[in-house]
Amino acid sequence: MPVHPIATVEIAADCANVRFFCCLVRQYTKAEIEAFVEVADTYNTYVASHVFTDEAVEIAVAAGVKSIEHGFLMSRETMELMRDNDVWLSVQPLLDDEDGFSFDDPVSQQKWIDVTNGTDFTYKTAKEVGVKVAFGTDILFDPALAERQGAFLAKLQRWYTPYEVLKMATSTNAELLELSGPRHPYQQGNLGVIAEGAYADLITLQLDRRPSCQTPNHASRCCPT
């Protein structure tokens, strides 16, 4: 089956250049986002929104966006709205730690701190409220940081068990990808399950019984799939 190269439409609902944390203010009306959603629906897919702030998330959800990417400055009430509308939270453990960003501009630096201060609340509250949470990053163009994808996944142990972390990154993420129906690129078998003919790579490692999941980063380096 030919697959259209565009699987999902992503918009940035509250910042044109969030890599530099320069603004974090709304930039679309509800009607504009509804137009994106209508076009995506015509293409049998959905709209994901790169968005951080509470009001912008609320409007995106009301306009029909199906995945909130980041969302670190959301309130509990907005997460409840997401849950009630079956909207996903695709998020990553951004922390002001060894992988933290630093900015020359003090305004951007403060916004980065505000965002990372929201990380703990976001994960804890999303879990309590029952929002569907996926693991995803938008680390695309920085090879050194891309090497750290597995390390980012392992940081989720602050809020989840190793079992929950691995489930999120595999079968739960697969559920989110399948929102783009005939447009996602994995059409030749089942996704997110371990079964004959399915898109699953099972890597078994002989390791000490360690009480953590430090293996994903290692596995991604030594066992390309």
| 50 lies in the site for Zn ion, by CB under 5 A | yes
Torsion angle, alpha carbons of 211, 92, 95, 144, to 10: 90
Q: Of 31-39, 47-55, 79-87, 153-161, which segment contacts Zn ion by CB under 5 A? A: 47-55
The residues, any chain, with a CB within 8 Å of residue 156's CB and separated by 6 or more, are 93, 123, 135, 164, 165, 168
Considering the rule CB under 5 A, would residue 138 count as an interface residue with Zn ion? Answer: yes
Does 86 engage in binding with Zn ion (CB under 5 A)? no
Strands 67-73 and 47-53: parallel
142 touching Zn ion, by CB under 5 A: no
Among residues 70 and 155, whose Cβ is nearest to Zn ion? 70
**Residue 133 near residue 91 (C-beta atoms within 8 A):** yes
| Site membership for Zn ion, residue 148 (CB under 5 A) | no
Q: Which is nearer to Zn ion, 138 or 175 (CB)?
A: 138
* Residue type for position 57: V
**Residue nearest to Zn ion according to CB distances in the complex:** 50
Which listed range, 26-34, 42-50, 196-204, 215-223, lies at the site for Zn ion (CB under 5 A)? 42-50
Percentages of the chain per state (helix, strand, coil), in multiples of 5: 45, 10, 40
* Interaction site with Zn ion (CB under 5 A): 50, 69, 138
